[in-house]
Structure 1
């Protein structure tokens, strides 16, 4: 995502700073994220007795997070060293996996929010729409969608025939073309963000309107807030940075000082966006604790919300 020596602006200070800052950010994220997501997969696959919609979505999300974590060591290496030209296909694969992990996580979190909204706010429709098979089919659809959409696009980010290069940096003009960035911003972030916020707000409102203050209701609210945080905190700054960098490439921002600050902002924002791999662990923790409860508190919570739906619709 580095702008390079564009319009006679010097990025030497920014590049030198990121050479030291990226490992400081990436190493804890990689180690903690790897431990938490592997542990989550072990819990979901071996310790929980029954596969539910929640465990299926969370398992898919953990796999997406691991897919996002896998390229990080290569990304740290490319931050300091140039790669020979013959490694360009490997670089394109790693970049594709990285973006599949990011946008696969975004769409999986969106599906979780929709599933929770249907279960709590539309309990009768939930009987027809929600099932482990439907959740599995949705997760497989997300994987197919992001793989089919991103792999062909990311492979166009690099022009053939170039010499030594820095992977994950200095994308070609095709990578910053208006159709690519508009689709990325609208369908990759804006639409999922609106869906997640809407479903989360409606679900929290239904829980609050129920007048029930049971541990189950409070646990549901914690899960919703953790999912919302795992979505908005990492991905909002990074997509704002992409938008600003796009304006730079379109010539709408030409001041050298602003261009340099945008270059620094987008690099830091993209680094911090990977913290989603750790924030998702909050969702794993609450889901696993609820599902392991001997009283099946998740089912009790759903029954409570059905009663809440009747009470709110009667007002």
Structure 2
């Protein structure tokens, strides 16, 4: 989350960076998410556990993308937000809450792929389309509960004059909020790193040295790329957010608080690139899986064949 008290606290360079990053993120993100959804609904003839998770991820990412134009507007309006407090809180909810919903769904995709490829026979009992749908529903329900906290970001009964920034002092003193967000991310990061490493190890173990099997190497590239994109997008923001929280609560004292505040703005903007990268990645995954059925091992949608790759 970001904290900006007036126009003077955001440098012109940071505002320009946000405009440069958010504009293509919004346009390309919508384009590739729509294309991925088109493949799912019109090309994929049968749903799988992986496609259920993909649909949920694309849905959450798309909702977040729709808030980006308003986020750009909010920085130009600064302390003159005139679109209403309820509308602002709704936008902030879609923006912040859906980001963590996307993180959890990305975790589910990674774990589901790991189970399908590394434990194909166990997967027959652990995985099902119904179970995947229930997990997605629970995540959406859980993140919806988090929506309640976003309506308190500016303080109770506060007349919002600036959206997406200028949060109340109580928000920055909320240790429970910080702990929840950091645990969600770093817990997901640890689990995804483990699952990805084990998945790649399993794929390589069943690959003959004299026959690298192109579809298997593609599967490895996809799972590693997914993890790298996740880490590159989300890690800087969560480190900057944690550091800024410590500064705001006088746990640590530094002389470059303005630089750290700008870092939170920039890294949060950078984190939203994941919405675009998700759409790009899963569009090409689905495209290749239709052209080459063996590519289904990359998404873990075929546990019956995953163990032979």
TM-score exceeds 0.5: yes
State the shift of 1:71 in Å.
0.8
1:7-46 equivalent positions in 2, closer than 5 A: 12=8, 14-46=10-42
By how many angstroms is 1:297 displaced? 4.3
Q: Which residue is equivalent to 2:5?
A: 4
2:225 maps to 226
- For the residue of structure 2 that corresponds to 1:21, the secondary structure is helix
Give, in angstroms, the shift of residue 27 of structure 1. Answer: 0.6
The DSSP-based 3-state class of the residue aligned with 1:234 is helix
Separation in 1, partners of 2:308, 2:129: 24
* Among candidates 285, 288, 291, match of residue 287 of structure 1: 285
Of residues 134-143 and 196-205 in structure 1, the stretch that sits farther from structure 2 once superposed is 134-143
Given the superposition, is the C-alpha separation of residues 208 and 147 from structure 1 closer, same or farther in structure 2, using an over 3 Å criterion? same
Q: Take 2:156 and 2:12, find their aligned partners in 1: how far apart are those partners?
A: 28
Per-residue deviation, 1:18:
2.5
Determine the structure 2 residue equivalent to 1:262.
Answer: 260
State how far apart, in whole Å, the 1-side matches of 2:39 and 2:308 are.
Answer: 32
Q: Deviations over 1:51-92 (max 9, x none)?
A: 112211111111111011011111101111034577112111
Instruction: Report the 3-state secondary structure (helix = DSSP H, G, I; strand = E; otherwise coil) of the residue aligned with 2:163.
Output: coil
The answer for the alignment partner of 1:244 in structure 2 is 243
Q: Deviations over 1:199-252 (max 9, x none)?
A: 111111111122342122112212202221231111101111110110111112
Aligned to 2:214: 215
Distance 2:281 2:95 in 1: 21
What aligned pairs does 1:111-122 form with structure 2 within 5 A after superposition?
Answer: 111-122=108-119
Aligned length: 300
**RMSD (Å), alpha carbons:** 2.2
1:80 aligned onto 2:76: yes
Return the offset for 1:289. Answer: 2.7
Give the one of 257, 262, 278 matched to 2:276: 278
CA contact (8 A) 1:30 1:72 kept: yes
Shift of residue 161 of structure 1? 4.5
Q: Which moved more, 1:218-227 or 1:103-112?
A: 218-227
Deviation at 1:294, TM superposition (A): 5.8
Return closer, same or farther for 1:113/1:219 CA change in 2, 3 Å cut-off: same
In 2: Cα distance, 1:281 partner to 1:100 partner: 19
1:67 aligns with 2:63: yes
Q: For 1:294 and 1:236, locate their aligned partners in 2 and report how far apart those are by CA, in whole Å.
A: 34
Q: Aligned partners of 1:255, 1:120: CA distance in 2, in Å? A: 48
Higher relative contact order (CA 8 A, sep 6+): 2
- 1:295 deviation in Å? 4.3
How much has 1:281 moved relative to structure 2? 2.7
Q: Per-residue deviation at 1:126?
A: 0.3
CA distance in 1 between partners of 2:24 and 2:31 (Å)? 11
In structure 2, C-alpha distance between the alignment counterparts of 1:60 and 1:199, rounded to whole Å: 20
Query: Would the aligned equivalents of 1:113 and 1:196 in 2 still touch at CA under 8 Å?
Result: yes
CA distance in 2 between partners of 1:219 and 1:179 (Å): 41
Question: Any idea what the Cα deviations from partners look like across 1:118-171, whole Å, max 9, x if unmatched?
Answer: 1111111101111222222221121111112x1111111112444562100011
* Contact persistence 2:207–2:216 (CA under 8 A): no
Distance 1:19 1:88 in 2: 23
CA contact (8 A) 1:235 1:273 kept: yes
Aligned to 1:204: 200
